[in-house]
Amino acid sequence: MDYLQIQGLSHLGGEVIISGAKNAALPLIAMTLLAKNNVTITNIPDVKDIKTLLKLLEHLGATFTHDEHSVNINTSHIIHTKATYEIVKTMRASILVLGPLLAREGHCEVSLPGGCAIGQRPIDLHLKALEMMGAKITIHGGYVYAEAKDGLKGAHIIFDKITVTGTANIIMAAALAHGKTTITNAAREPEVVQLCEVLRNSGVNIEGVGTSELVIYGSDRRLLEISPFEIIPDRIEAGTYLCAAAITKDTLTLEKVRPDHLESVIGKLEEMGFSFDTSTDSITIHPTEVIKPVSIVTQEYPAFPTDMQAQFMALCTQAEGTSIIEERLFENRFMHVSELQRLGADIKLNAKLATITGTTELNGADVMATDLRASSALVLAGLIANGTTRVHRIYHLDRGYEKLESKLKSIGADIERLSE
Ligand code: UD1
């Protein structure tokens, strides 16, 4: 198994190019199940999760050509409708095939994703919404069996909680359904907005794009002609590199980003004392002498993202004073705390609240990555720790960060990938 070895205290600088957003690419690849034509997608990030989803589509009967950053997918011959446990267990986002497969084929079987390191993560809201659209759902032997022989019917869905992949699943299902679907309390993440925009450009009438109330007029099960499109930049990868420059107190420029997708993250960094120059597709962060403590509450977009919580926790260890982070989305998303403590961080946990007192001097150690974003927080801490930090189980990082160590190396970090 690979691990990352980081020698702390080197300085960062220069430019880093941000990859396409994994969380936009995943639903958009699943969406190709709604297409009657070959779909070309560019700016695909070269990460494991994308390969896992393509493998799932291939198993369903799709064919594709895939080079590093683009893919051309043909889903005209779907021969299976089962997303097996073997694939779903490695990536929860496989659940994204549920809505489009059911809408197109009239039935499908998808393994229940189960829990994961950051919490329970049920899919009850996805299932309830599909039932409201006329699907008959049964759960048996760890699988969801969904059936809607004559296709799904438009309905008024009110999500009790905002769910990102739940909203994406229902948008895709609604695009092929009979009649009009209204989604109240829809997620507004940029990745959901891009899904709506691509569908709209393919002839689906969608109102309210970017708001929490979406109205989708279904195609009566007619497959869609989907034009080529480019994945939006990854706001979480971008936020992670901003934290890398912030923690090492260096100037760094990010290219191919959308600053407008990062307002809450940039806002928090400004509160901490950092300053920025932005253009429509680049951001330069400038350091601050004194990092001020902050108070952070993770919430749905456009509020502060839970996917940036761990990275900010690493940064807060260098703030002068006490910072507070409240995790509102996932009950168990503090697995990185004990690993940051191994490096010397002063963090107290009380249920959903973490209190971080800085400034602490961090010292290199062996640490274990527990999930995707937790892993990047450990890398950030390693950048400023004295001596050597080894981050183990980095397969988590490979799921979602494209070439993390070579990108960090190119901006000055002393980091290498080694085998156990
Ligand atoms: C997506 C992102 C993930 C991010 C998360 C929150 C993708 C592929 N993943 O995950 O990176 O951390 O949004 O921004 O885009 N919930 C239920 N029942 C459901 C569905 C969700 O109770 O049926 C709860 C979850 O347990 C959680 C909250 O709703 O507490 C939000 O989860 P959700 O938005 O669905 O997260 P994902 O879409 O899985």
Q: What is the pLDDT of residues 292-306, one digit of tens each?
A: 999 999 999 999 999
Please choose from 91, 121, 336 the residue to mutate so as to test ligand 1's pocket, defined by most ligand atoms within 8 A of CB: 121
Contact 419, 72 (CB under 8 A): no
Lookup: tokens for 353: 């609240």
pLDDT higher than 90, residue 332: no
pLDDT band at 187 (very low <50, low <70, confident <90, very high): very high
Active site residue 108: no
pLDDT higher than 80, residue 121: no
Backbone angles phi, psi at 261, to 5 degrees: -90, -5
* Residue 245 near ligand 1, beta carbon < 6 Å: no
Residue by residue, DSSP assigns 292-360 as PP-EEE--STTS--GGGHHHHHHHHTTSSEEEEEE--S-TTTTTHHHHHHHTT-EEEEETTEEEEEE--
Identify the pLDDT of residue 119: 65
Active-site position among 116, 196, 243, 316: 116
pLDDT higher than 70, residue 116: no
**Model's pTM, two decimal places?**
0.97
Please choose from 112, 118, 126, 163 the residue to mutate so as to test ligand 1's pocket, defined by most ligand atoms within 8 A of CB: 163
CA of 369 to the centre of ligand 1 (A): 20
Lookup: tokens for 232: 């939006």
pLDDT band at 130 (very low <50, low <70, confident <90, very high): very high
Q: Whose CA is nearest to atom 12 of ligand 1?
A: 307
Which residue, among 239, 253, 261, has the nearest Cα to 194 in the 3D structure? 261
Identify the pLDDT of residue 69: 97
* Residue 331 near ligand 1, beta carbon < 6 Å: no
Which residue, among 50, 6, 24, 51, has the nearest Cα to 377 in the 3D structure? 6
Contact 171, 1 (CB under 8 A): no
Atom of ligand 1 nearest to the CA of 125: 23
pLDDT higher than 90, residue 170: yes
- Please report the sign of the dihedral spanned by the C-alpha atoms of residue 169, residue 171, residue 173, residue 175: negative
Identify the pLDDT of residue 164: 98
Q: What is the mean pLDDT of residues 207-216?
A: 98
* Residue 390 near ligand 1, beta carbon < 6 Å: no
pLDDT higher than 80, residue 167: yes
pLDDT higher than 80, residue 117: no
CA of 193 to the centre of ligand 1 (A): 16
In the chain, what percentage of residues exceed pLDDT 90? Answer: 93
Contact 385, 363 (CB under 8 A): yes
List Cβ neighbours of 64 (8 Å cut-off, separation of 6 or more): 54, 57, 58, 71, 72, 73, 74
Q: What is the mean pLDDT of residues 202-219?
A: 98
Amino acid at 7: Q
Considering only 92-101, 124-133, 329-338, which range has the smallest mean pLDDT?
Answer: 329-338
Identify the pLDDT of residue 115: 59
Q: Whose CA is nearest to atom 21 of ligand 1?
A: 163
pLDDT band at 420 (very low <50, low <70, confident <90, very high): confident
Mean pLDDT of the chain: 96
Atom of ligand 1 nearest to the CA of 300: 14
